[in-house]
A and B are shown apart, each in its own frame.
Chain A
Amino acid sequence: MRTTLPVIIAFLSGFAMIFLFFLSPEYSSINGVELEPEILSWVTIVGGFTLLLGVVSIVRVNYTAVKRRKEGWGYKVATLVSIFAMAVPAIIPSSMSSLFGTGPGSIYDWLFNNLDAPMMSTMFAMLAFYIASAAFRAFRARTAEATLLLITAVIVMLWRIPMGEIVLSGIHENIPNLINTYIMNGANMAVQRGIIIGAALGAAAMALRIMLGIERTYMGK
């Protein structure tokens, strides 16, 4: 029953959404309630609960590590403090004070704009240093395929920057347009279409496997 019930729910949910897609609203209503928007609002509510589940899980894991004084427990204290500092003022209704909620001027908003955003931007910006270093040390034309990739990457990188455009236009004024036409809207587009169609077929196959109960990894099986 522990596996059968989720499979039945998955099948019915998937089947309902596929079936309703092909019906016009007048044929998919019960007592004036349209089924498709109704089911979709259930999905957003379930999505909200999954976020809650994530928060509960991260608090439990970190709290246990702090309690047992595991290696690096100090960082886990910082994680827990950060979670509560962001979440608690955001959950309290803004009707009590403008400091609460998620609106402009709230504690959450201040913490986000002044701590969270700069920290995340800093982490992401550090990639530039590693890419530059890796480009110097590792990006080698060892094989024909790697050489092709390298030449294309250099051409596209030049094409995407104003200084590169000046260089390319200096060689011939039509080169930037040719790159746009033959590389980006030619070879690149053809490959991307293949990838997108392949991924879509894979997603459809996976959906079918889940609906039919063949794929059960989402239940931890």
Chain B
Amino acid sequence: MSAGMIIAYILIIIAGGILLYMAFRTGDRRYIYFAVAFYVVFPVLVHLPLPTSISPEARQLYDAVDGLPDSSTVMLTFDYYPSTLAETEPMSRAALHHLFKKDCRVLTMTTIPLGGPSIAERVTREVAEKYGKVYGKDFVNLGYKANYVAVLKGMGSSIETIYPTDNSGTPLSEIPMMKDIKNYEGIDFIIAVADNAIIDYWISIVNSQYGVPVGTGVTAVMAPRYFAYIGAGQMTGMLGGMKGAAEYELLVNEAGTATKGMTAQSLVHLFIIVSVAVGNVIHFMERRGRRRRIGV
């Protein structure tokens, strides 16, 4: 880290401290809001990269995908709503970069009706274009079908029964890539990127009942829950939140929005930690003052 960057960090931390002091003095929470906005916007305008270490869970996912034979078939799910795109989309993008670099065939799908098919379509086509991949031969978007438990279970018997057509309405029987992908037996690995409890079903139905290895990308608030599945060997790696996405971007050497977002996330987290500490110091000082006044 250069001296200029260290000075820049010190200055923006001091700015946050001043805003926190103002919030304390005036009791106006808008100073807090302004500080958060400042810490989110400033790193976007001024590039201040931070070194990111790789967690064992992200490494496990990367190694599992990297260890697949070239031209393997991988299912990538887009089980997330637009509200969590900042965390989840970079995971999908990094995974697609990794898969297309390895010439894997990618089958995408979603269990989210609100935008899932559109997100899958947009993200996959953007990354596929970079590698010259062709729809129908190298990747297919199955789209959305209602009732996720039935969808996950049903694909174990026959993908075509659940998805007679792809997202654009083309019958699966007319898509070359789908000729030898009939059910989970035709899929070598699943990367489930999600912002909801669908991950539990990918594990309990698809991994446990059909034996397909499942790696995941989940939001930061969900990540602690899934350490239990990693410990049990039911989950093959996990990307937790934007940090997990940044780790995968680093591993596949494709720095994207998650890597850029690390500085903003670091600053906002630190600001929240300092806010908690300051709030508690004030609380204890006030309590001590009250006790002294009443002579306890």
| Chain A contact residues, CB within 8 Å of chain B | 25, 34, 36-37, 40-41, 43-44, 46-48, 50-51, 93-95, 101-104, 108-109, 112-113, 116-118, 120-121, 123-125, 128-129, 131-133, 135-141, 150, 153-154, 157-158, 160-166, 176, 180, 184-185, 188-189, 192-193, 195-196
Contact = CB atoms under 8 A, between A and B. Distances in A.
A92 to B, nearest CB: 12
Interface in B105-145: 113-115, 117-119, 121-122, 125, 143, 145
B29 interface: yes
Contacts of A101: 168-169
B225 A51 contact: no
B67 interface: no
Interface stretch (B45-53, B69-77, B185-193): B45-53
Classify the secondary structure of A's interface with B: helix
A196 B231 CA distance: 13
Nearest to A117: B82
Nearest to B166: A103
Contacts of B115: 112, 116-117
Main DSSP-derived SS at the B contact region? helix
Interface of B: 20, 23, 29, 32-33, 35-37, 40, 50-53, 55-56, 81-86, 113-115, 117-119, 121-122, 125, 143, 145-147, 149-151, 153-154, 157-158, 161-162, 167-169, 200, 220, 224-228, 230-231, 240-241, 243, 262-263, 265-273, 275-280, 283
A133 B82 contact: no
Contacts of B119: 117
Nearest to B152: A40
A116 B36 CA distance: 24
Given A41-B161, A121-B86, A193 B273 contact: no
A133 B243 contact: no
Question: Which of B23, B50, B84, B228 is the most central at the interface, judged by chain A CB atoms within 10 Å of its CB?
Answer: B228
Contact of A120 (B40, B81, B263, B269): B81
A102 B167 contact: yes
18 contacts: A25-B157, A40-B154, A41-B161, A44-B162, A51-B113, A113-B118, A116-B82, A116-B114, A132-B272, A138-B279, A160-B269, A162-B50, A162-B266, A163-B50, A189-B227, A189-B231, A192-B226, A192-B228
B250 to A, nearest CB: 11
A161 B33 contact: no
B1 to A, nearest CB: 9
B113 A129 contact: no
A180 B55 contact: yes
A195 B85 CA distance: 28
Given A47-B146, A50-B146, A188-B224, 17 more contacts: A40-B154, A44-B146, A44-B150, A94-B169, A95-B169, A123-B83, A128-B40, A129-B33, A138-B279, A140-B279, A140-B280, A150-B276, A150-B280, A154-B276, A160-B243, A161-B243, A163-B266
A132 B35 contact: yes
A52 to B, nearest CB: 10
Nearest to A193: B228
A141 B32 CA distance: 21
Contacts of B55: 180
A40 B146 contact: no
A118 B115 CA distance: 12
Given A104-B125, A132-B36, A185-B231, A124 B83 contact: yes
Nearest to B225: A192
B87 to A, nearest CB: 10
Contact of B121 (A109, A121, A158, A165): A109
